[in-house]
Structure 1
Amino acid sequence: MKIVVWLLSIIPAVGSLTVINRIEPYIFGLPFIVFWATMWLILSSVCLYICSIIQDKEEANE
């Protein structure tokens, strides 16, 4: 489970850098790459929090 969580947080962020490495377009006043990095930071945190809750519930049931 820990490997899956690690892969879910790293692969999309690192794997897409070659595709999104550009300044245009601007989203919310930010260059695209800055917006992309910020979005993945927030989404990774939310996904890891959800995985933590699920894992805690599974451990409580054991």
Structure 2
Amino acid sequence: MKSIRYLAWIPPVGSLLGPLLHNDVHPFILGMPFILGWISVWLLLTTPVMALVYLLDPANREPADDEAAT
């Protein structure tokens, strides 16, 4: 289950590697230069990835009734 935490590395790596690999104004993404569009897309993708990490993390599950009583 510790491999779930590696999912949290996807947004920073994706948002940092794109501009480094393709540092150019063209093509445009939604009318924005590539770098700004790439960072904006990763900003929007960060929320679902972090929600997935939160849902899959066993530390965020509610304890069973017998565990809560102790």
Q: Percent identity?
A: 18
Q: More strand by proportion, 1 or 2?
A: 1
Instruction: Work out whether residues 7 and 53 of structure 2, in 8 Å CA contact, stay in contact via their aligned partners in 1.
Output: yes
1:11-30 aligned at under 5 Å gives the runs 11-30=13-32
Q: More helix by proportion, 1 or 2?
A: 1
* TM-score scaled by length of structure 1: 0.70
Q: Which has the higher contact order (CA 8 A, sep 6+)?
A: 2
Partner of residue 50, structure 1 = 52
- 4+ residue runs of structure 1 moved beyond 4 angstroms? none
Shift of 1:31: 0.8
- Return 5+ residue gaps in structure 1 as ranges: none
Rg: which structure is higher? 2
RMSD (CA atoms): 2.6
- Return 5+ residue gaps in structure 2 as ranges: 65-70
* TM-score scaled by length of structure 2: 0.64
